Amino acid sequence: MKFLVVGANLQNRGAEAMLLTTVRELQTRWPSARILAATYSRGDRDLLGNIKRAGPDGRYQEFELIPAMRGLRDVAFRLLALMGRRGQKYAADRCPHVAAMCDADAVLDISGFALSDRRPLWRSVVYALEAACCSRAKVPLVLLTQAFGPFKRFPVRVCARFALRRAALINARGELSAGYLTQLGLRREVDFHVADDMAWLFPAQGGSLQVSLPERPRLGVVPNTNLERAFQIENGRNQYVDAMASLCTFAIAVLGANVVLIGHEVLQNGNDDDTLCEAIRSAMSGVGNPAVVSGRHPASELKAAIGSCDFLVTSRFHALIAALSQGIPTLAIGWAHKYQESSLAGGAAPASVDFHEGVRVETLTEILALAWSERENVRDALVAQRERRTASASAPFDRLQGLIGGKAAHA
C-alpha cells in the first residue's frame, strides 16, 4: 500500500503532530505501507532528523519527505498532469509530487485549515488543482480532519465546491465546519463526517524538557505570530503583544500563578513564536519573570510541557488540542471558528474568544479570572469525555480503511 500525505510541514508543532499521528495510524493498519509526505517548507529536511530521533514511537521513522510544488511551477505541473496521459507522464517525470500522487493508493490531505475566506485565495486554487489531479489519476483523495469555511468570497466558494466534490471522503473538525459544507449544498453530494482532530491521538513525551518553577499553579501561554502580524499599531507597539503581556501580568499578580510562555512554530527567518514569546515577556515591564519554552522542541515534548500546566491560554489551535486531550482547562484566544468548534465550555466562562481590534484587555482578564476559578470542574468534564473524543479522532482512519482496505497496491 502506498500513501501520499499532502498539506504537511514540520516547522509548526501542530502540523508535526498531525503528520506523525497520520503516519502512526496508517502503519498500525497497514504495517508494510510506504508513506510519502509532500512538504512546502524548505527547512523541513533539516528538522526531520531531530523529529525521527525524538519520536515516542519507532514507527514514526518509516516515512519519507518529498518536496511539494511551489508557486507558478506548482500550478504548471498540476495543469500538465491534467492534460491526458502524455501531460501526466511529463509532469510525473519532472516532479516528485506528481509522481507520488499518480503512484499512490490514496492521497491524504492534512492541511488543517486551507479552504476558507480566512486563507489566501491561492490556497483554495492549489487545493482545487490537487483534487483535479487526483481525480484525473483515479486516486482517491481523503480529507482528514480539518476546518472548512466560511465561503463568502465567490472564487473561494467555486474552488471549494470543485475540490470537495472530487474527494472520496471528507472529515470536518466540528459542527461549525460541517455547517459551512452544508451551506455549499454538499450534504447530499459528498461523503462527509464530523470528527475530532487527529492530534487527540498524539502522545506526549517529556524527554529532556523540564521546567522548574516554584510550587504554585502553573498557567501556560501559547501565542501566535499570525495574530501579532495582524495587529501592529503606532509607535512600534502591537495590540496583541500588549494584550498577552497584560494577561500574563494579571495571572502572576492577581491569580498567583506561575506563567510559562510556550513557542509552537519555528521559522528559518526567526520571526516566529520564540521571538514573540520574548516580545511578550519584554512588554510585561518587569512584572514577574515567566519561563519560556522554545518551540524548537519536538511536538511530543511540547505536549508534555502543556500537560504539566494547570490551565492554558492559547492562540495556537494544536496547543489547544494538546491541552484538551490531556484534561487541561483552556481559554482559546483565536481568529477563526476552528477554536470555537473544538473547545469545551464546562462552566460559565466562554472557552474561546476571537481577538479583534475592539477587544478590551479588561474583558479578557475578566474571562480568564472566571475560567481560572472554574478550572477543576472543567478538568473533570474533559476527563469524562476523553474516551469519546479519542474514538472520534480515530474514526477517520477507520473510514479510510473501509474505503481502501481491500484495494491492491498499484503495480
* CATH label of the domain that carries residue 302: 3.40.50.2000
Domain membership of residue 379 (yes or no) is: no
Q: Is pLDDT of 112 > 60?
A: yes
Alpha carbons within 13 angstroms on the beta-carbon side of residue 106 total 25
166 and 240 both lie in a single domain: no
285 and 318 both lie in a single domain: yes
User: pLDDT by residue (tens digit) across 292-324?
Assistant: 998 888 899 999 999 999 999 999 999 999 999
Sign for the pseudo-dihedral over CA of 370, 376, 377, 382:
positive
Which range has the worst mean pLDDT, 73-82, 91-100, 148-157, 202-211? 202-211
Pairing mode, strands 64-67 and 34-39: parallel
Q: Which of 104, 108, 100, 114 is nearest to 5 (CA)?
A: 108
Rounded to an integer, the average pLDDT of 73-87 is 86
Nine cell digits for residue 222: 501559547
Element (H, E) at 321: helix 317-324
pLDDT at 311: 97
310 and 183 both lie in a single domain: no
350 by Cβ neighbours in 10 Å (0-12 / 13-18 / 19+) ranks as middle
Bond into 214 cis (ω within 30): no
- For 155, residues 6+ apart whose C-beta sits below 8 A from its C-beta are 121, 124
| Domain that includes residue 357, residue range | 218-324+330-373
9 and 36 both lie in a single domain: yes
Rounded to an integer, the average pLDDT of 101-124 is 94
Torsion of CA 28, 32, 37, 43, to 10 degrees: 90
Domain membership of residue 43 (yes or no) is: yes
Grade residue 210 by pLDDT with cuts at 50, 70 and 90. Answer: low
User: Measuring CA to CA, how many Å separate 235 from each of 232, 238, 239, 245, 279?
Assistant: 9, 9, 11, 17, 15
128 and 263 both lie in a single domain: no
335 and 274 both lie in a single domain: yes
Domain membership of residue 28 (yes or no) is: yes
399 and 362 both lie in a single domain: no
The structural domain count of the chain equals 2
Sign for the pseudo-dihedral over CA of 12, 352, 216, 239:
positive
Domain membership of residue 207 (yes or no) is: no
154 and 49 both lie in a single domain: yes
Rounded to an integer, the average pLDDT of 122-147 is 94
User: Are the C-beta atoms of 2 and 409 separated by less than 8 Å?
Assistant: yes
Neighbours of 270 (CB within 10 A): 8
101 and 229 both lie in a single domain: no
* Residue carrying the nine cell digits 502543556: 306
User: pLDDT by residue (tens digit) across 54-71?
Assistant: 444 544 556 888 877 666
103 and 237 both lie in a single domain: no
pLDDT at 409: 42
3-state secondary structure 129-153: HHHHHHHHHCCCEEEEEECCCCCCC
pLDDT at 75: 80
Give the 3-state secondary structure of residue 58.
Answer: helix
Domain membership of residue 120 (yes or no) is: yes
pLDDT at 410: 39
pLDDT at 142: 97
Q: What does the longest C-alpha to C-alpha distance in the chain come to? A: 68
Across all residues in the chain, what is the average pLDDT? 88
- What's the alpha-carbon Rg for the chain, to the nearest Å? 21
Amino acid letter, residue 137: A
92 and 189 both lie in a single domain: yes
Q: Does the reported pTM lie above 0.85?
A: yes
Give strand ranges (E) for 263-323. 291-293, 311-314
Domain membership of residue 295 (yes or no) is: yes
Domain membership of residue 241 (yes or no) is: yes
DSSP 254: T
Which range has the worst mean pLDDT, 52-61, 163-172, 375-384? 52-61
Domain membership of residue 341 (yes or no) is: yes
Element (H, E) at 402: helix 375-404
- Pairwise CA distance, residues 95 & 109, whole Å: 18
- Pairwise CA distance, residues 146 & 109, whole Å: 9
Which range has the worst mean pLDDT, 246-255, 294-303, 345-354? 345-354
Nine cell digits for residue 116: 476558507
125 and 166 both lie in a single domain: yes
% of the chain at pLDDT higher than 90 = 65
- Pairwise CA distance, residues 305 & 300, whole Å: 9
